[in-house]
């Protein structure tokens, strides 16, 4: 993946959030998510403060609300599950607009929606302000398992290559008059998928041999300085730090 590559989730910019080292943003996002998960579901106002914190980050990073909302579609399965819980939950029931709902199910649905939404928005803001390549380098700086980081790096680098190969195969089929319209065309699609797998596997072998011939010994060298200053760590820590202060303060008042 070249330096000019842009992922669909990434929104280029020169804001203070964009300029923070990736390891700082990764740690801040993880810390914020842990605080959100640790917050009791009954503390409604705490979740409101967390949402306001994320809105502040979005404003500083100049990430429009529409950009975030469009990418929250990944949360739809969680929303569907949460909406079903009050209907199938057990225990005490309450009538809402003539519909019998479980009280425990309502609390569970709120808990899932609130925490999942805040976690998804935090992830979207992280992806919108950090290039995927830098995000993986930041994970490497945080001493995440090297093998997992390398797998993610290679997947990210060659995913576009495989997608381009799939596009060429689709164009080749269509240029020969093929158009998948019903189940009768499934065997053709299946054969294409098998051919794509074989081509990708062979390409992977060639890439691996090329890496070995260039001195690859099992670790990817870091060619970009991603050191973070104490000031940058402090700036990134403001999000989880403020969230933690809200959590501890609320616990003290409870």
pLDDT at 79: 86
Q: Which residue range is the domain that position 90 belongs to?
A: 16-138+228-252
Q: Which helix (H) or strand (E) holds 24?
A: helix 22-38
For residue 221, is it within any domain? no
How many domains does the chain contain in total? Answer: 2
Tokens of 37: 């998960």
- The pTM score is 0.77
Tell me: pLDDT of 68 over 80: yes
Q: Confirm if 140 and 149 have CB atoms less than 8 A apart.
A: yes
Same domain for 183 and 83? no
| Percent of the chain scoring above 70 in pLDDT | 93
Report pLDDT digits (tens) over 178-227. Answer: 777 777 778 888 888 898 888 888 888 888 888 888 887 777 666 666 78
Top pLDDT among 253 and 79 is at: 79
Question: What counts of helices (H) and strands (E) characterise the chain?
Answer: 10, 2
Same domain for 66 and 125? yes
φ and ψ at residue 181, rounded to 5 degrees? -120, -25
Same domain for 73 and 50? yes
For residue 3, is it within any domain? no
Same domain for 153 and 67? no
For residue 93, the SS3 value is strand
Q: What is the mean pLDDT of residues 106-110?
A: 89
Provide long-range contacts, Cβ within 8 A and 24+ apart, for 53-59. Answer: 53/239, 53/242, 53/243, 54/118, 54/121, 54/122, 54/125, 57/17, 57/125, 57/239, 58/125
Same domain for 149 and 134? no
Same domain for 195 and 103? no
Same domain for 30 and 70? yes
Same domain for 158 and 133? no
For residue 50, is it within any domain? yes
Same domain for 24 and 116? yes
pLDDT at 136: 82
Same domain for 90 and 49? yes
């Amino acid at each position: 993946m070249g330096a000019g590559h842009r992922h669909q989730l990434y929104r280029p910019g020169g804001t203070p959030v964009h300029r923070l080292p990736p390891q700082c943003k990764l740690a801040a996002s993880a810390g914020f998510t842990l605080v959100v998960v640790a917050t009791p579901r009954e503390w409604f106002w705490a979740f409101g403060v967390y949402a306001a914190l994320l809105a502040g980050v979005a404003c500083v990073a100049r990430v429009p609300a529409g950009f975030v909302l469009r990418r929250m579609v990944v949360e739809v399965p969680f929303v569907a599950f949460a909406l079903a819980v009050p209907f199938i939950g057990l225990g005490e029931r309450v009538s809402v607009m003539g519909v019998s709902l479980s009280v425990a199910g309502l609390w569970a649905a709120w808990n899932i929606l609130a925490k999942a939404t805040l976690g998804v928005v935090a992830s979207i803001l992280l992806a919108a302000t950090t290039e995927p390549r830098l995000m993986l380098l930041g994970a490497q700086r945080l001493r995440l398992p090297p093998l997992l980081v390398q797998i993610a790096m290679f997947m990210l680098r060659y995913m576009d290559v495989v997608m381009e190969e799939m596009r060429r195969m689709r164009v080749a089929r269509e240029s020969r008059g093929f158009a998948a319209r019903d189940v009768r065309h499934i065997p053709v699609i299946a054969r294409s998928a098998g051919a794509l797998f074989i081509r990708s596997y062979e390409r992977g072998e060639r890439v691996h041999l090329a890496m070995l011939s260039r001195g690859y010994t099992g670790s990817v060298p870091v060619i970009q300085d991603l050191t973070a200053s104490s000031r940058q760590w402090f700036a990134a820590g403001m999000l989880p730090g403020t969230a933690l202060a809200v959590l501890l303060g609320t616990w003290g008042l409870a």
